[in-house]
Homo-oligomer: A and B are copies of this chain.
Amino acid sequence: MARQVTGAARRVADAAEVLRDEKFNARRIELAEAALETLGELGFARTSLREIAQNSAFTHGVFHYYFSDKLDLICCCVRHYKAKCVTRYDEVVATATSRDELTEGFLAKLAATLESEARMHRLWYDLRSQAMFEAAFRKDVLEIDKSLEAMIWRIASRYAEFGGKRPASSPAALYALFDGLFQSALLRHLAGDKAAVAELLDEVRHLLPTVC
A68 at the interface (CB under 8 A from B): no
Cβ of A173 and Cβ of B181 under 8 Å apart?
yes
| Binary contact readout A147-190 vs B (1 if CB under 8 angstroms, 0 otherwise) | 00000000000000000000011101101111111011011101
Across the interface, A169 reaches (CB within 8 A) one of B178, B179, B207, namely B207
Cβ of A184 and Cβ of B145 under 8 Å apart?
yes
A122 at the interface (CB under 8 A from B): yes
Distance between A149 CB and nearest chain B CB, rounded to angstroms? 9
Dominant secondary structure at the A interface: helix
**Chain copies in the assembly?**
2
Name the B residues within 8 Å of A90 (CB-CB). none
Interface residues of A (CB under 8 A from B): 42-46, 122, 125-126, 128-135, 138, 141-142, 145, 168-170, 172-173, 175-181, 183-184, 186-188, 190-191, 199, 203, 206-207, 210
In addition to A45-B45, A138-B191, 20 A-B residue pairs with Cβ atoms within 8 Å of each other are A45-B133, A46-B133, A122-B132, A126-B133, A128-B187, A129-B129, A132-B186, A132-B187, A138-B187, A141-B187, A142-B187, A142-B188, A145-B184, A169-B207, A172-B184, A175-B184, A176-B184, A179-B180, A180-B180, A180-B183
